[in-house]
Amino acid sequence: MHYKVFGRKTGLRVSELALGAGNFGTGWGHGAERDEAKRIFDGYLEAGGNFIDTANGYQAGQSEAMLSEFIAAERDRLVIATKFTMGTTPAAGISHTGNSRKNMVRAVEESLKRLNTDHIDLFWAHVSDGVTPMEEILRGFDDLVRAGKIHYAGLSNFPAWRIARADVLAEVRGFAPIVAIQTEYSLAERTAERELLPMAEALGLAATLWSPLGGGFLTGKYRTNDENNRAAKLGMLIHSEKSAHETALLDTLLALAAELETTPTHVAIAWLREKAKRSTTALIPILGSRTREQLDATLGALAVQMSAEQLSRLDGVSDVAKGVPHEMIAGSVARYTGAQTLDLPIIPAA
């Protein structure tokens, strides 16, 4: 496995694939028991991985508690990321959810105890609550960095305009910077290309990418829509074959897998790795395996090489409309700005 510097705002070194620990535990009624979770963890480290992503609410706190045991002997060589916002259990009250400073401070103390560590390497606000001012979030992160309880801060599932404002506020007020974003991104979900990923590249933010297989959709195993289908059971995090676009994507993915004598899983992850190679900042897919076999099957993508023509086929069949104003900027406006004869910079202008 290769390693990357985690964006242009840090010197942190992380593996090119992160391990998501959302399946560590059974607090949601599904997931991996302790022994299976340990097999997944060991397999990831054996492959050279060092970046673990969890959250206080994953499996109602079981994920962090399991990781505390797994990471004990390896703590200094690992990068541990966790999150707050959603609460640890579905019964969490109003004061145990949201982005407020009160909830942030309470959550970080609880995560430190569950993880049995004295610091968190990367602490995420899990999702924008839409009401907490960005100044409050940034000041809370800054205080935690200065206290040594976290090393870096990031924003997960926030709109691009809020992240961009946070970047400026942190700079002008001398707060600890926001160093990364987390967003869903895969062949099945490319709308982050409209705002989030160009913003991250321009501002030097790393991006960790959740659900790289569309919740299993891109494995090609869940094409039926019967009531026992995994997509029907798990709901919002699972993509499904609901239109001609998804059908064409899966057909192309399966055809390319056959050409390459590999699996659709390998092709989907290999496509993300190629996107990461072409980016000027770090793009890190998060693998959310539920079994060791799933992890091993996913890691096989590290050996897959695709031609430019094969990548182009995947790009074309999975493309999404960029919308306003991006299509206008890329189209007729270029004629009036001299862009057709201008050598564009590698890093886009912010």
For 107-136, write each residue's pLDDT tens digit.
999 999 999 999 999 999 999 999 999 999
Backbone angles phi and psi of 346, in degrees to 5: -65, -45
Q: Which one is catalytic: 58, 152, 185, 222?
A: 58
Do the Cβ atoms of 79 and 49 come closer than 8 Å? Answer: no
Do the Cβ atoms of 59 and 27 come closer than 8 Å? Answer: yes
pLDDT in tens, 211-229: 999 999 999 887 765 555 5
pLDDT in tens, 263-293: 999 999 999 999 999 999 999 999 999 999 9
List the structure tokens of 260.
Answer: 């390459």
Residue type, 258: A
- The verdict on whether 222 is a catalytic residue reads no
- Give the pLDDT band (50/70/90) at residue 326: confident
> Which letter does DSSP use for residue 85 in this model?
S
Strands, E assignment, the chain: 3-5, 13-15, 18-20, 51-53, 79-84, 120-125, 150-156, 178-184, 206-210, 283-287
Do the Cβ atoms of 167 and 203 come closer than 8 Å? Answer: yes
- Give the pLDDT band (50/70/90) at residue 182: very high
Q: What is the DSSP string of 90-108?
A: TT--GGGSSS-HHHHHHHH
Task: State pTM to two decimals.
Answer: 0.94
Side-chain-side CA neighbours of 125 within 13 Å: the count stands at 32
Q: Is domain 3-341 classified as CATH 3.20.20.100?
A: yes
